[in-house]
Chain A
Amino acid sequence: MISINVNGEDRQVDGPEDMPLLWALRDVLGMTGTKFGCGVAQCGACTVHVNGQAVRSCVLPIGTLKDAKVTTVEAVGQSEQGKKIQQAWLDVEVVQCGYCQSGQIMSAAALLQHNPNPSDADIDAAMSGNICRCGTYVRVRQAIKQAATGEKVAMQTIPNDAEAVR
């Protein structure tokens, strides 16, 4: 058993030390918000935060985590930056198929955490490790801008009142 701290809770994982965090999250702890895309740290779909830093969980052995604090997309909204990012994602409607977006949001939230007012170049540098096959890059950039500055930088969606959507 390996103990890892995920979203503020100590969780026990029955698996080998070299098991990547991604599979501990998805298949052992049942937290499927973090996605499997490539397994070789080339796409970023599996991005989580470890001590506030965006990392690729598909190549991060759980045995190396020790006391590190892992945050996943399920809890990113609990931080101020994460919440801002999620809201901007809704307002600008970044998402298409959505499969890469857990990773995009984790990378974006980490960026804002470290750099509250990123330039376009800063955004590109921090986000280029995240592939979006649907090609939502233009809006990812806009949403990060909007989350950072509060200024509306793109077409805004009209919220569906009483967010009763599943």
Chain B
Amino acid sequence: MIRVYLKLVVFLGLVALVGAAGFAGWRFATSDAEVSAADVTPTPELIEKGRYLTAAADCAACHTTPGGKPFAGGVAFDLPFGTIYSTNITADDSTGIGLWSDDEFVRALHKGVGKDGRNLYPAFPYTSYTGLTRDDAVAIKAYLFSLPKERVAEKENTLAFPFNQRWAMTFWNVAFLDQKRFRPDPGLDHVANRGAYLATALGHCGECHTPRNLAFALSGKEFAGAEIRGWHAYNITPDRDEGVGAWTDSQLASYLSTGHAEGRGAASGPMAEVIVNSTKLLTKPDIDALVAYMRTVEPRKGDGGVRVAESPKSMTTSTAWAAAPSGAENGLGAKVFQGACASCHQWNGKGQQTPYAALAGTRAVSDPEGVNLVHVMLEGTDLRSVHQAAWMPKFAEAYTDAELAAVANYVIGHFGGKEGKVTPEMVSERRATAK
């Protein structure tokens, strides 16, 4: 944490230097100009279009608390330098955005500036939304304004100095906000270009999957995998070893629309939320467009990428009902697995009752550090809105660090064919970031 803090301090100095170099002028010169227009009158068609786009942009992920009123905000973002809360984006006049004009709403998406002209924090992904067309932005507003207004007291951010200085974000924006609307890549067909718009401007995939630089801005290693809320947001470039290059189109499409791909496993953690709130709601043409675009991205390797090994013998020679003798069956990990896990996950990697419980071929069991594996044990997972049986309870409370480490290593060995390196201490640390 301290390291991150230092990074930020270094960055602020950096920004000042950059500003001095006249970079700001260049930014200004290359930005797309905002078009001002009178507020449009929402029609049912516009609202419906907005509903779809709001899902595609996954606004709910950050603006709706679990079980809370839709888009009423209040979701906490625990950052190394304090906590910030998402805002109420319902049309309530006093606590929401009811008094915002179309222009002001569009400006927020494109420039990261609030109605009062103050800078917003880039936890709000305006560096991606800046690519949205004005029409799409206005449609989103029309939809949000069609929903019940919720009056909720705003939660105070708890950022420490200097991060509570919103004006400082101006410098950050100069450095990292490229204010340009999405432009189709002439080298891609219209399907891939639609996918590019969905992935970059609307879906803002890179906000999680692209590693961040010193200044917490997205680096050039687009989609090469990063860490979010303690989870791996895996490499989604076409790299065959660490990315999704070996996945078939139908596996990718299935993963995005149902949260599960046969032979690749199920989504969990933040990605499960994306699927529930966003990608499962996309039309088939849009899913296909996303897949087509992801194929065109440059294959890259990231830091700490996870490679799925060939199916290990321990798994392939096991049956649904019994584990093949592996030398690990008398250990603590095996015992925990027998009691709490095997009813759904079984021994042969295929999953029981539901294919969502299949562990064969998943990156979670192929990561010797067991990052996502331990997180899913600690937090559980919930894709019930996609598939009734796609759910796992959280085992954080009743199982010790040593037990979870042991069962993680057992699973990594048995299903991933690797030697697990999870220690009780690592589990203990991950508890801190688990929901």
Contact = CB atoms under 8 A, between A and B. Distances in A.
10 contacts: A41-B353, A42-B340, A55-B352, A56-B343, A56-B352, A111-B321, A114-B319, A114-B321, A125-B329, A128-B335
Nearest to A110: B321
A26 B319 CA distance: 29
B266 interface: no
B13 interface: no
A121 B323 CA distance: 11
Interface residues of A, number: 25
List the 5 closest pairs (A to B, CB-CB), nearest first: A18-B388, A128-B338, A129-B343, A128-B339, A60-B353
B354 interface: yes
B343 A126 contact: no
A124 interface: yes
A61 interface: yes
Interface in A40-62: 40-42, 44, 53-56, 59-61
A40 B357 CA distance: 13
Interface of B: 319-323, 329-330, 334-335, 338-340, 342-344, 352-354, 387-389, 391, 393
A110 B342 CA distance: 15
A125 B323 contact: yes
B389 A121 contact: no
B236 to A, nearest CB: 29
A32 B389 CA distance: 22
Given A18-B388, A55-B353, A114 B343 contact: no
Given A64-B354, A125-B338, 8 more contacts: A18-B388, A56-B344, A56-B353, A60-B353, A114-B319, A121-B329, A122-B322, A125-B334
Contact of A125 (B322, B354, B391): B322
A59 B338 contact: no
Interface in A97-143: 110-111, 114-115, 121-122, 124-126, 128-129
Contacts of B387: 18
A49 B335 CA distance: 23
B320 A121 contact: no
A25 to B, nearest CB: 15
Contact of B389 (A54, A61, A122, A129): A61
A126 B321 contact: yes
A65 to B, nearest CB: 11
Interface in A59-87: 59-61, 64
| Chief secondary structure at chain A's binding surface | mixed
Contacts of A129: 338-339, 342-343
Given A41-B344, A56-B353, A60-B353, A126 B322 contact: yes
A114 B322 contact: yes
A130 to B, nearest CB: 9
| Chief secondary structure at chain B's binding surface | loop
A40 B330 CA distance: 26
Contacts of B344: 41, 56, 59
A55 B343 CA distance: 7
A59 B392 CA distance: 11
B356 to A, nearest CB: 10
B203 to A, nearest CB: 28
B342 A59 contact: no
A41 B343 contact: yes
Contacts of B391: 40, 59
A42 B343 contact: yes
Nearest to A130: B343
Contacts of B334: 125
A59 B354 contact: yes
A121 B330 contact: yes
Contacts of A44: 343
B334 to A, nearest CB: 8
A127 to B, nearest CB: 9
Contacts of B319: 114
Contacts of A125: 322-323, 329, 334, 338, 342
Contacts of B339: 128-129
A20 B384 CA distance: 13
A34 B339 CA distance: 20
A152 to B, nearest CB: 26
B359 to A, nearest CB: 15
Nearest to B320: A53
Nearest to A58: B353
B322 A115 contact: yes
B389 A124 contact: no
The winner among B335, B343, B344 for most chain A CB atoms within 10 A is B343
The winner among A20, A56, A128 for most chain B CB atoms within 10 A is A128
A20 B329 CA distance: 31
A141 B352 CA distance: 24
Contacts of B322: 114-115, 122, 125-126
Interface string A6-44: 000000000000101000000000000000000011101
Contacts of A122: 322
A41 B389 CA distance: 10
Nearest to B340: A42
Contact of A54 (B321, B330, B335, B338): B321
